[in-house]
Amino acid sequence: MADWSMEPAVWVPSDYQLSDWSMEPAPAAWVSGLPIEYLSTEMLGSSCYQYQVSVPGSSEGQQKLVEYAAAAATATPAEQRRAGQQQRREVADFHATEPKMNHSPIRVFEKSAHEFKVDIDKTRTKMHRYPTYFPDLGPRYNVPSTVAIGPYHHHRRHLHPAEDVKHVAAYHCIKQSGGHTVQEMYDAVVSVADVARSLYDKDVVSGISNDDFLPMMFYDACFLVQYMLTCTSDGLDEMDDSLRSFFDSNDEAIFNDIMLLENQLPWLVMEALLRFRPVPLEDFVTALKGFLQDRKDLSIHTVVLDDSFQPPHLLGLLRFYVVGRSNAIAKRKPLPPTEFISFSVSAVELAQIGITLAVSKTTELMEIGIHKGNFFGELSLPQLSLDATNASILVNMAAFELCATPNFQADLVDENSAVCSYLQHMAMIVDREEDVHELRSKRVLQGGGGLTNKDVLEFFTSLQDLRLGSCYVRTMEEIESYRKRRWIWIVILKFYNENKRTIATVFSAVAALAGILGTLMSLKK
């Protein structure tokens, strides 16, 4: 059994979860950067004012302050005025001869600009907040119901019961570490905690001391490691029965919670702990990759991890493999230039130009596109089983894309906006409940135990105003190209659709006439 002995000052407090998790940042005072400040000299028994030289750490400045303060006690008003004028001249001279003083106002702005650039450079690795401009779909989409991961929701009282489970998870992580001590594992997390802190919203973490932040990182990582093990066959077999019971009974809620954008732990913290208690990530990703589909392919091959990809957090890890990397897109021929393009086409309009809905050959969200047949075209879409949890995870993946990639069109990497593009494709198709029914009849939407047709319609239409993803724009270009190349066929199809009753009547009459003529011919014989 691992060694649990250590100094209380080093190890985390057992009642840390009861600490003050106030999210209010400490008030900050603006320093104007002026070279002098005015101080009342009433303490010296005089109604006049003295001037203090604001030169931190300058013995010369301190000496001047003493000399002027002593003189102020006995000098006449005229002498005090002359002394003040002399001090201001000396301050001006000092600034003229010391242009590199640290308190120069431009240094304040330089520091702000540098911090801003560093923050922007971390865009893809930060622990983002739920975007304020994103549609407000309700608390299920941005507030955890069972467990808090990271600092953004740790203060919520309804999540406190899960803190005891984190202690249990930590105990089993340490027991399964192969003889490593608590201190070794805790120190590994502490070694990356400063970087982890810098990835969170600074206004939030500024109100959290290290005494709270460090154990939070450790316990949250232990909890996630143990949950990830439940998704692998080997880890599940080794799991403590009581811990497994908790995970099994709260599985859907926990899965939803740990995939919320605001409920993430930096992957570098996870990596620090995974060195001691490894999780077979290939099995974990393989088990979860098909969560958007109702029917599971039991013969699916184990996912091959991409060593070049460094996930920012658990949500980013799953999104990467759910999205996929389409080889078909890389082989596509450039489309001819066009003067006009529509950015919204309904299912009815697609049918009018001869494009039907079909299911993609893979489950990856990148596999969306127009495929041309001899007479008709197909818009292929990955299958989706849409229940409340899947809807929530899709939304949070889309929110992550919006935060991590400020400009989809400038980025031009389809994978970076794939979830937003997928949601936009679905929102484009559904204008009414009949369109949702059409998606079900084509098996693009699976199952009947999830959201109703009305719920699906409301969900997708609420996401119509997402930023246009490059994959979505590409599909719109393909549709426009299809219109141009098959305009004659589209005209014929339109004529048929508008006159199909008349055409059916004519064909029926022709068939009847042919039958009569055939009968008459047979009678003549």
Name the percent of the chain lying above pLDDT 70.
66
pTM of the model: 0.73
Q: Which residues pair with 371 in a beta bridge?
A: 378
Q: What is the pLDDT of residue 6?
A: 42
Residue 298 pLDDT > 60: no
Q: Long-range contacts made by residues 91-94, C-beta under 8 angstroms, separation at least 24? A: 91/35, 91/36, 91/51, 91/53, 92/35, 94/35, 94/53, 94/55
Does residue 38 or residue 185 have the better pLDDT? 185
Taking each helix axis as running N to C, give the angle between helix 210-230 and helix 161-175, from 0 to 180 degrees, rounded to the nearest 10: 70
Type of residue at 300: I
The Cα angle at residue 158 between residues 152 and 164, in degrees rounded to 5: 90
- List the single range of 240-244, 368-372, 461-465 with lowest mean pLDDT: 368-372
Mean pLDDT, the chain, whole residue set = 77
CA separation for the pair 16, 9 (Å, rounded): 13
- List the single range of 263-277, 292-306, 338-352 with lowest mean pLDDT: 338-352
Residue 354 pLDDT > 80: no
Could you tell me the pLDDT band of residue 503, with boundaries at 50, 70 and 90? low
For 191-220, what is the mean pLDDT?
A: 95
Residue 53 pLDDT > 50: no
Residue 173 pLDDT > 90: yes
- List the single range of 88-92, 292-296, 367-371, 402-406 with lowest mean pLDDT: 88-92
Name the percent of the chain lying above pLDDT 90.
34
* Closest listed residue to residue 254, CA positions, set 281, 278, 280, 288: 288
Both structure tokens of 241 = 């029965």
Residue 472 pLDDT > 60: yes
Contact (CB, 8 A) for 414 and 366 = yes
Could you tell me the pLDDT band of residue 38, with boundaries at 50, 70 and 90? very low
Could you tell me the pLDDT band of residue 233, with boundaries at 50, 70 and 90? confident
CA separation for the pair 458, 420 (Å, rounded): 17
Does residue 361 or residue 346 have the better pLDDT? 361
Residue 8 pLDDT > 50: no
Taking each helix axis as running N to C, give the angle between helix 210-230 and helix 251-258, from 0 to 180 degrees, rounded to the nearest 10: 130
CA separation for the pair 176, 379 (Å, rounded): 49
Q: What share of residues in the chain are helix, strand, coil (percent, to 5)?
A: 55, 5, 40
* Closest listed residue to residue 146, CA positions, set 227, 212, 210: 227
Type of residue at 183: Q
Residue 44 pLDDT > 90: no
Q: What is the pLDDT of residues 386-431, one digit of tens each?
A: 899 999 999 999 999 999 988 777 666 778 889 999 999 898 888 8
3-state secondary structure 367-389: CCEEEECCCCEEEEECCECCCHH
Residue 333 pLDDT > 70: no
SS3 477: helix
